Structure 1
């Protein structure tokens, strides 16, 4: 099922239970008496609790049209999610050497033709990484000076003028957690900038919960849905009694 279809079903299900859907971008979250005030321009909402599901923004390589490359499968962002779709392809991973090789070795279970590209520019100089690459038959490449992606895959051009075609490329360049609404209230984050939560998805700010990629390194819909169920249950149990 495509992501857009899944979102549409979620919206329909929520509306069947009287939930009002508002398309807006919250740009400010404040602590006020009785809870929180969320603002989106001139609009504002008050709530006793807030659940953040603001996600991350992946850092992408310098490409003319990265979104189109993702849409056609030339550029992929999650090997755990979709490596099976790239099985037996020429697969490349672009990252700092150790990260690139670690992900490339994972992908070797899906293809015999896996490549690791140095995104840092320091080169493949670590003897341990060279041994691991040889043992797992991962092909090593320097940092590309140019990348182009089309519906047929991606092509890397290197400083010596050589070129290499890949059916698909996984850039592992990190991501930016969209945690600013929470950190503006003093919420704790870890070394990756992701929000620290407890077993009930509560941040360090009372009444503020966070779910999904903004708190988890496993960026999958199933994980986010599980987080949401835990957070919603905790919120419900924590609200004052509202007898029917």
Structure 2
């Protein structure tokens, strides 16, 4: 800790992005704090084969555990708390932490948001958390290869749902159904689905059949539909509220817009991972984190006021 009690950086979020940023900054000999709200989306991943170096696949919980163990070698452990408020003051930020211990404040010259996002769960009978439980997958980029040639169902509607169903049909299997949960498709979207061989089921879901760690059958419109793999494409809730409260630029979904150094439009405020607009992948999140942490290190001695609108400073 600096003599004035102000950290070099506060990292909010301890998923793959936050843990990577903490590792880089610890190895840069920076004074940091890492806050973990305990809700990393990566923890929902049963197994991914899209993460380099693990040919046999690796689960999200193991990725996080290995990262935490690595970070512990440098004397850094995540602080379990929720950051309920973030204020910008001259020369530093003030974060309000709420957790098991009394509410306290942390001051840091720069803040990195690695707060991620959370999938919107499909409204299924008696199964409110199917995505979090791993009964429904949420990333065909990560594991669609394992579903090649299978019967695949995609929960979704509108451009996002149809787009993901077409992605699966083009990439992995020709047996794809789009389950719209009672939402109608436009005639144009119906035509697009037909062009790619995507079957559309618009009836609401009436009942489910769960076998082991997957939903094997769905009853909709009085008919039973059986699937090998199900995906949800209902969108995300981006955890960007802290940045939005400071006026950070964002897209229509709330995802933050950053420059090549992962700076937001708020001077001194960085963002990495799924909270940033772009491709939601672990390796991308880690790349964001490495970029942001290095820029934070290179500018620690400079006042944040020298970073107008988040533009690069050399």
Question: Which category describes the TM-score, using the shorter chain as reference length?
Answer: 0.7 to 0.9
* In the alignment, structure 1 residue 22 sits paired with structure 2 residue 79: yes
1:130-209 maps to which residues of 2 (within 5 A)?
A: 130-148=190-208, 150=210, 151=212, 152-159=214-221, 161-209=222-270
How many residues of Structure 1 are paired with residues of Structure 2 in the alignment? 237
CA deviation profile, 1:123-167 (whole Å, cap 9, x unmatched): x451x44443333222221132335252352433323x1221222
2:296 is aligned to 235
* In the alignment, structure 1 residue 34 sits paired with structure 2 residue 95: no
Quick one: structure 1 residues 165 and 18, their matched pair in 2 at CA, closer, same or farther if it must change by over 3 Å? Answer: same
1:118-137 maps to which residues of 2 (within 5 A)?
A: 118-119=180-181, 121-122=183-184, 124-126=185-187, 128-137=188-197
106-115 vs 179-188, which moves further = 106-115
Match of 2:177 among 115, 123, 129: 115
Contact 1:53 1:212 in 2 (8 A): yes
Distance, in Å, in 1 between the alignment partners of 2:128 and 2:209 is 8
228-237 vs 166-175, which moves further = 166-175
Distance, in Å, in 2 between the alignment partners of 1:60 and 1:67 is 6
217-226 vs 144-153, which moves further = 144-153
Give structure 2 stretches of 5+ with no counterpart.
Answer: 1-57, 303-314
Contact 1:75 1:168 in 2 (8 A): yes
State the shift of 1:58 in Å: 0.8
Q: Secondary structure at the match of 1:48?
A: strand
1:103 is aligned to 164
Contact 1:66 1:75 in 2 (8 A): no
Contact 2:121 2:129 in 1 (8 A): no
State the shift of 1:120 in Å: 5.6
- TM-score normalised per structure 1: 0.87
Q: Secondary structure at the match of 2:83?
A: coil
- TM-score normalised per structure 2: 0.69
1:87 is aligned to 148
Distance, in Å, in 2 between the alignment partners of 1:68 and 1:129 is 27
CA deviation profile, 1:164-220 (whole Å, cap 9, x unmatched): 122222121111110111111111211121111111111111100000001133211
Q: Secondary structure at the match of 1:121?
A: coil
